Structure 1
Amino acid sequence: MIDGVEVVRHPRARVARLSVDPATGRVRLTVPQRMALARAVAWAGEKAEWIAAQRAKLPRGRPFVDGAVVPVADRAVRLAWREGASRTVALTTYRHPGEGRGPWSRDDADPSMSPVSMDPGLPRDDDLVCGGPIDQFPVRIERWLKREALRLLTEDTAYYAAKAGVTVAKVAIGDPKARWGSCSGDGTIRYSWRLLLAPGFVRRATVAHEVAHRVHMHHGPAFHALVADLFEGDPDAARRWLRSDGAALHWYGRESSSG
């Protein structure tokens, strides 16, 4: 790491290359094996304006603070710290006749923006309530979200596994930056917990994809046909959503995308 830039030597690189990871904001300088490091670093130093421009395009940070709204399994959930409330996070559900349930219920909804207005006079779907020390609020909220993600992803996995006629040894969650799910040869399937924050069809398509690997450990035509059969929808739409909007999910629970 030099001046905040991650430097990586790559045996197949032919020229120096700069990139900014949209999921982390990390700046990476890829350097060919035979290029002098000082020369590559000097070149990167001349690209300060380009780096700043790329960082400006990053999703904005969405910390887990009182009053923030978080998309949870197609519901708009308002985070609420209440003095005197239990330290155990509790979900309070509101329902209003004739209203859409989630932030993606409208065709013109922008998943990268806050899904509902913060005006307290407007109806909302749910409150996620927690008391205790305010400085522990973000940690408790994230812990609850991860538990909910594991619960929901386990249910989804069981559904698609039964449909495919396969067994899954274990379902686990993590917070990888480069993938949304993985299936190992021993039958363990791991997911990013942040799929909980994605639209439901994206989460379910990802689960169908990983369960299909219990039958086909490749990405050939038979695999894709099985994914489509299990999902009973268009899995390509989910992939497109993750390519265009998935990076923003990594900024939930973070202060900002600057620096």
Structure 2
Amino acid sequence: MRLRVDQRTATILLTVPRRVSQRHALAWAADQRDWIETQLAAIAPPVRFVPDAVIPLYDLPHRIDWSPERSRLVRRDEDRLTVGGPLENLEARLLRWLKRHAAELLDRETCEFADKAGVSVDRTGVGDPVSRWGSCSSTGAIRYSWRLILAPEWVRRATVAHEVAHRIHMDHSPRFHALVADLLGADPKPARSWLRRNGSSLHRFGRV
């Protein structure tokens, strides 16, 4: 049996093998109350996309600079994201911009590493998965979490190199890890460690 906390929804997820009864599983989960309360207390409150909120774009603080007189188009200006238009749909506009920006940036970096590896990538895309930062299918399609653009550049690029390496090795063998390091030109382990330590905090942003 396994307990997990969904950082986005503060939901407790209980995984139970088929041979275990529901009564026994719920009793076991009840015994984990202290652990559950500790995990829930550790979840940081969500950060709404509202005027003057700060978004860690590339792990660098960017303040949302909103004025109703400005254009609705989002523009990055050094340490700010400037935007206008109606306040009631500000969050939706910013989220669309972030996802579009993530898709463009991750596609460009995927092409860069794919060229270096001498492989093709069928297509790239972004989503908002809970527990995965990237995935590569056997058909050559790669998808990423858009939230990677909230992480440092070296973490994001290590994740891209990881997924591109799966176009050659669909496993996590020593040859696979050696290829990731070769593509990246650096040890990817610090990036994986960063995501383990800090990845859950990226789900705070844009979560109502």
Q: Is the 8 A contact 1:216 1:223 kept in 2?
A: yes
Cα offset, 1:60, TM superposition: 2.8
Instruction: Report 1:214-225 matches (<5 A).
Output: 214-225=167-178
Counterpart for residue 63 of structure 1: 48
Deviates more, 1:36-45 or 1:21-30: 36-45
SS in structure 1 at match of 2:36: helix
- Structure 1, residues 97-132: CA drift from partner, whole Å, max 9, x if none? xxxxxxxxxxxxxxxxxxxxxxxxxxxx2x212222
Instruction: Report 1:14-93 matches (<5 A).
Output: 17-38=2-23, 40-41=25-26, 44-45=29-30, 48-93=33-78
Cα distance in 1 between the residues matched to 2:140 and 2:21: 45
Instruction: Report 1:1-259 matches (<5 A).
Output: 13=1, 17-38=2-23, 40-41=25-26, 44-45=29-30, 48-93=33-78, 125=79, 127-255=80-208
TM-score by length of 1: 0.74
Amino acid at match of 1:25: A
Cα distance in 1 between the residues matched to 2:85 and 2:7: 34
Amino acid at match of 2:93: R
Cα offset, 1:46, TM superposition: 6.0
Share of identical aligned residues, percent? 51
Cα distance in 2 between the residues matched to 1:179 and 1:212: 16
Cα offset, 1:152, TM superposition: 0.8
Alpha-carbon spacing, 1:39–1:229, altered in 2? closer, same or farther (3 Å): closer
Cα offset, 1:76, TM superposition: 2.3
Larger gyration radius, structure 1 or structure 2? 1
Q: Is the 8 A contact 1:59 1:247 kept in 2?
A: no
Cα offset, 1:21, TM superposition: 3.0
TM-score by length of 2: 0.90
- Structure 1, residues 179-233: CA drift from partner, whole Å, max 9, x if none? 1111111111111100000011000000001111111111111111110000011
Alpha-carbon spacing, 1:30–1:83, altered in 2? closer, same or farther (3 Å): same
Amino acid at match of 1:28: L
Cα offset, 1:42, TM superposition: 5.2
Cα offset, 1:178, TM superposition: 1.6
- Structure 1, residues 113-171: CA drift from partner, whole Å, max 9, x if none? xxxxxxxxxxxx2x212222212011111110011101110111111111111111111
Cα offset, 1:40, TM superposition: 4.0
**More helix by percentage:** 2
Aligned length in residues:
208
Cα distance in 1 between the residues matched to 2:153 and 2:21: 48
SS in structure 1 at match of 2:204: coil
Cα distance in 2 between the residues matched to 1:33 and 1:182: 28
Q: What value does the CA root-mean-square deviation take over the aligned residues?
A: 2.0
Q: Is the 8 A contact 1:59 1:251 kept in 2?
A: yes
Cα offset, 1:86, TM superposition: 1.2
